[in-house]
């Protein structure tokens, strides 16, 4: 168990809808990272937050947004969902803003139908 | 953009044999490399890492080799066991030590390691 908690584990929704994925980092970790894992694109970095502020952006679509709250949990919001957004979404956390020290959660499997 | 790639999508080995998983990277600015193991239904799990100022690092039953000249990374697993069955990813990043650290990890496509009894 990495100590990173993601909810829900599974999510099925229709195209055009909006969903929110939640991540609770390991106790004491200030950074949260979001990654998307799909069959065709593999694991891709989406966005990083450090102590409530956005620190780095990767391949995140404009339809997607994230935030980190004062209690350091994070939410990834996916809107206007398309079939191609079906994927595993992972959250990782680290104590600092150093990416290489991150630990991953179990992921949320999103299926868009 | 530059990316990390793996040579083989699937590797099948006999239980007890050694496994070698290879990875090529192209971003010369990367100074930190990590191997992750991902079992079905789980998130990537850290196995071992290596900094670019090293060429070899050993852990428990695993060894990572880094060849900066040809931008090649390998993971060696000794005495492969059924529990080693998983997809293995290499990842690269630039750490704060080289002025980076805020771009996330760049992952390779993954190699599926299958253990034959």
Judge if the upstream peptide bond of residue A8 is cis by omega within 30 degrees of 0: yes
How many angstroms separate the CA atoms of B85 and A20, rounded? 32
DSSP class of B9? S
Please state the rounded mean pLDDT for residues A67-96. Answer: 96
Please state the rounded mean pLDDT for residues B44-61. Answer: 94
CA-nearest of A18, A10, A45, A44 to A31 is A45
Q: What percent of chain B has pLDDT over 70?
A: 85
Instruction: Inspect the interface and report whether the beta carbons of A58 and B104 lie closer than 8 Å.
Output: yes
| A25 pLDDT tier (thresholds 50, 70, 90) | very high
Instruction: Inspect the interface and report whether the beta carbons of B104 and A35 lie closer than 8 Å.
Output: yes
Q: Hunting for tokens 């090293």 — which residue is that? A: B54
How many angstroms separate the CA atoms of A110 and A113, rounded? 10
Which residues 58-97 in chain B show a CB within 8 A of chain A?
A: 89, 91, 93, 95-96
- CA nearest to B43 within chain A: A106
Q: What's residue B27's pLDDT?
A: 86
The tokens describing A51, both together, are 């102590």
Q: Count Cβ atoms below 10 Å from residue B9 Cβ, excluding itself.
A: 10
Q: What's residue B102's pLDDT?
A: 55
List of chain B residues whose C-beta atoms are within 8 Å of the C-beta of residue A33: 104
> Which of A27-36, A46-55, B33-42, B90-99 has the least mean pLDDT?
B90-99
List of chain B residues whose C-beta atoms are within 8 Å of the C-beta of residue A43: 44, 89, 91, 105, 107, 110
Contact A35, A82 (CB under 8 A): no
Q: Does B32 touch chain A (CB under 8 A)?
A: yes
Sort B117 into a burial class: Cβ within 10 Å, 0-12 / 13-18 / 19+.
exposed
């Amino acid at each position: 168990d990495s100590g990173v908690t993601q909810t829900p584990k599974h999510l099925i929704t229709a195209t055009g809808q909006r969903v929110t994925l939640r991540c609770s980092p390991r106790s004491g970790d200030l950074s949260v990272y979001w990654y998307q894992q799909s069959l065709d694109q593999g694991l891709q970095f989406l966005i990083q937050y450090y102590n409530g502020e956005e620190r780095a952006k990767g391949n995140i679509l404009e339809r997607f947004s994230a935030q980190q709250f004062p209690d350091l949990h994070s939410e990834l919001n996916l809107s206007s969902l398309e079939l191609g957004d079906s994927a595993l979404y992972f959250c990782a956390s680290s104590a600092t803003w150093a990416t290489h020290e991150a630990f991953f959660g179990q992921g949320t499997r999103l299926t868009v139908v | 953009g530059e990316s990390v790639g793996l040579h083989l999508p699937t590797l099948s080995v006999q239980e007890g044999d050694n496994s070698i998983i290879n990875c090529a990277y192209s971003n010369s600015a990367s100074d930190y490399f990590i191997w992750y193991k991902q079992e079905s239904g789980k998130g990537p799990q850290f196995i071992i890492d290596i900094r670019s100022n090293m060429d070899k690092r050993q852990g428990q039953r695993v060894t990572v080799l880094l060849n900066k000249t040809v931008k090649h990374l390998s993971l060696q697993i000794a005495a492969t066991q059924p529990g080693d069955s998983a997809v293995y990813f290499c990842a690269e990043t630039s750490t704060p030590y080289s002025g980076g650290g805020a771009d996330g990890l760049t992952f390779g496509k993954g190699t599926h390691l299958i253990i034959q009894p």
